[in-house]
Amino acid sequence: METATPRTKVASASTYSPTASSPAASVTSTPSARERWWAIFDVRIGSLPLPVYVALIAILAAMTHNGKLAADLPTGIALVAVGGFTCAELAKRIPWVRHIGATSIFAAFIPSAMIYYGLMPAPVTKAVTTFTKSSNFLYLFIAAIIVGSVLSMDRRTLVKGFVRIFIPLAGGSIVAACVGTAVGTALGLEFKHALFYIVVPIMAGGVGEGALPLSAGYAQILGVDQGPIFAQALSAAMLGNISAICLAGLLSYLGTRKPALTGNGQLTVTPAGDVPEADADGESRFDASSLAAAGGTAIALYLLGVLTYQWFNWPAPVVMLVFVVIAQVFHVVSPSVRGGARFMYRFFSTAVTYPLMFAISVAMTPWGQIVTAFHWINIVTAVSTVLSLVLTGFFVAKWVGMYPVEAAIVNATHSGLGGTGDVAILTAANRMELMPFAQIATRIGGALIVMLALAAFAFFR
């Protein structure tokens, strides 16, 4: 909860006054009623002023009671804002746990659990689900974050990061596959089950790009129904995602204790004497039209990705990422629009992250599937897989000129649930700047894992 110090009037000691020696003259004056109210208004729950937060709760509760809770844009925004900021605020109040990504865990899973146990009103669930799916909220967020973060990066740092990130990713994937399979087998699982039904789904890139095509391929090879296989793959992927969120939170905490290990969101180490490119004047000065132009640019690039998906079945976020990197490297976008993109990135990462996670938890996260996966053998196997992936990235990073904390966090996103997992993991790590690299780990890394796994599964069946 953020507070603002009330403004007060203090007598100046440097200006002559007949009452300057009087004790009363040096005492802070009592704030007026208006100033006290302003101080209350400046208390924040997330990005919402406290009085606005309380008013929204009352209004939404009344609408729910009257059975007239709509799923339109204003109501949907109010619902996810109140829900997301409430979850994050509760998590911040828990000692120690908040250091392992509790804000992300609460926003990403508590709403789903409330639905599963019947604790969330049905009208709220319906309204949030309809709003989330009809607005495509997630991909608007990803577009704004990717475009904003890439256009805010130094070009040389951007290129070096994209070239080098594949080394810790590839090494981490191999080590994680070996360690996770070995641990699962040692705990009593069959070799094939540990590898293909737990370890592989964790690194397959989420649900739509990972668990679904993976389970469809397994089912086709075995000649069985896809449903039970998909449930197993989804459960493993969710366990991996939870493990990655917790490890990302710990990595963020490690960065605060050992500053030499982190670039605070910068992936590659800048050599001594290598000065980053100076920002153009227009990048530091922007107006509302620059922000609007940056938003239009992000939407245009995303729709270009959607079009290529329709034509060639290429993942839209990856295509969008490629085009925005090209635009930044070759100075396609003007400095003023880059300034607007920087502000757009900051706005979405600050004000939209927790509402988005709440919306995804309500609309897209099946808590029942997570509960069924809570067997200690599955948990230990999943944690060992993700831990191996993260530690490999951490220790390989220095060899390729990267910060260990940031490289390990990007490796952690390789075990996330697609775009939703990337958001949760990077939020827990407080490093949303790494979203472009997370998309490489999740989309490209996940696609390669799925292709290799299906080929190996067909060979060993």
Asked if residue 142 has pLDDT above 90, the reply is no
Separation of CA 216 from chain center: 28
pLDDT computed for residue 275 by the predictor:
52
Q: Locate tokens 């604790």: which residue?
A: 119
Asked if residue 372 has pLDDT above 80, the reply is no
pLDDT computed for residue 277 by the predictor:
56
State pLDDT tens for residues 29-81: 788 899 999 999 999 999 999 999 999 999 999 999 999 999 999 999 999 99
Overall average pLDDT of the 151-162 stretch? 84
DSSP string for residues in 93-118:
TSTTGGGGTHHHHHHHHHHHHHHHTT
Residue 266: CB atoms within 10 A of its CB come to 19
pLDDT computed for residue 3 by the predictor:
44
Asked if residue 20 has pLDDT above 60, the reply is no
For residues 277 and 188, give the distance between their C-alpha atoms in angstroms, rounded to a whole number.
55
Q: CB-based contacts of 250: which residues, under 8 Å, 6+ apart? A: 99, 100, 101
Q: Locate tokens 């969710």: which residue?
A: 238
Query: Are the CB atoms for 364 and 206 separated by under 8 Å?
Result: no
For residues 195 and 184, give the distance between their C-alpha atoms in angstroms, rounded to a whole number.
8
For residues 214 and 199, give the distance between their C-alpha atoms in angstroms, rounded to a whole number.
12
pLDDT band at 16 (very low <50, low <70, confident <90, very high): very low
pLDDT computed for residue 407 by the predictor:
96
CA angle 199, 204, 208 (to 5 degrees): 135
Overall average pLDDT of the 190-204 stretch? 94
pLDDT computed for residue 282 by the predictor:
46
pLDDT band at 1 (very low <50, low <70, confident <90, very high): low
Overall average pLDDT of the 126-144 stretch? 90
Q: Quick one: tokens of 243?
A: 């493990």
Q: CB-based contacts of 156: which residues, under 8 Å, 6+ apart? A: 274, 276, 277
Local structure of 264: helix, strand or coil: coil
Query: Are the CB atoms for 157 and 270 separated by under 8 Å?
Result: yes
Using CA atoms of 163, 166, 171, 174 in order, give the dihedral in degrees to the nearest 10. Answer: -160
Bigger pLDDT: 416 vs 5 = 416
Asked if residue 9 has pLDDT above 70, the reply is no
Asked if residue 165 has pLDDT above 70, the reply is yes
Selection from 461, 417, 422, 445 nearest residue 196 by Cα: 461
pLDDT computed for residue 11 by the predictor:
39
For residues 69 and 27, give the distance between their C-alpha atoms in angstroms, rounded to a whole number.
51
State pLDDT tens for residues 286-320: 678 999 999 999 999 999 989 998 998 887 888 88
Bigger pLDDT: 390 vs 277 = 390
Asked if residue 4 has pLDDT above 70, the reply is no
For residues 393 and 181, give the distance between their C-alpha atoms in angstroms, rounded to a whole number.
19
pLDDT band at 259 (very low <50, low <70, confident <90, very high): very high
Helix axes 404-413, 418-429, angle to 10 degrees: 150
State pLDDT tens for residues 331-355: 899 999 999 999 999 999 889 999 9
H or E element, residue 44: strand 44-45
Query: Are the CB atoms for 85 and 79 separated by under 8 Å?
Result: no
Asked if residue 437 has pLDDT above 80, the reply is yes
pLDDT computed for residue 104 by the predictor:
81
